[in-house]
Amino acid sequence: MSLVAEHEGQIVGHALFSKAEAVGKEQVSHEVVVLAPLAVSPSFQKQGIGTQLIQEGLQRTQELGYGVVFLIGHSEYYPRFGFKPARSLGFELKQFEVPDEVFMAMELKEGATLSIQGELLYPEAFFEK
């Protein structure tokens, strides 16, 4: 799901929510979502555009029935939306080497991280050149 913010006919922000999978014990796969990228034109930053894109995307993702959204992002920005360090919730990320505090997850359904745990696998499109 691709969301854009416009101002006077010009795109000033973008958020992409992509299907991914979390593979847990006994190779059981669960469909999840990753948020990446989130971008706002520099001259439009600090005006709430990123916040609106994230909130709209999370709402739509929840309405579509997904239980967990992941991201790799700034550890001081995303927690205000409910994102928490994913490794502390039982998830691992091996495709990218990132510090614990920037690999985050958010439950869209209460208790989802109790039944969906394991290694997050980003879709192949994130690696294509």
What is the pLDDT, as a whole number, of residue 37?
Answer: 96
Handedness of CA 62, 52, 101, 129 (dihedral sign): positive
Q: Name the β-bridge partners of 3.
A: 15
Euclidean distance between CA atoms 68 and 111, whole angstroms: 10
User: What pLDDT does 121 receive?
Assistant: 97
User: What pLDDT was estimated at residue 128?
Assistant: 78
Cα-trace Rg, the chain = 15
User: Rounded to whole angstroms, how far apart are CA atoms 97 and 56?
Assistant: 29
pLDDT at position 9 is 96
pLDDT tens readout for residues 58-82: 999 999 999 999 999 999 999 999 9
114 closest CA partner among 25, 6, 11: 25
pLDDT at position 46, please? 96
**Residues of the chain whose pLDDT is less than 50?**
none
Question: Where are the chain's structural domains?
Answer: 2-126
Sequence letter at residue 82? G
CA-CA distance, 54 to 104, in Å (whole number)? 14
Q: How far apart are CA 91 and CA 82, in angstroms?
A: 16
Comparing CA positions, the residue from 104, 52, 59, 96 lying closest to residue 78 is 104
Q: Is the pTM of this model over 0.85?
A: yes
Task: Supply the pLDDT for residue 26.
Answer: 80
CATH of domain 2-126: 3.40.630.30
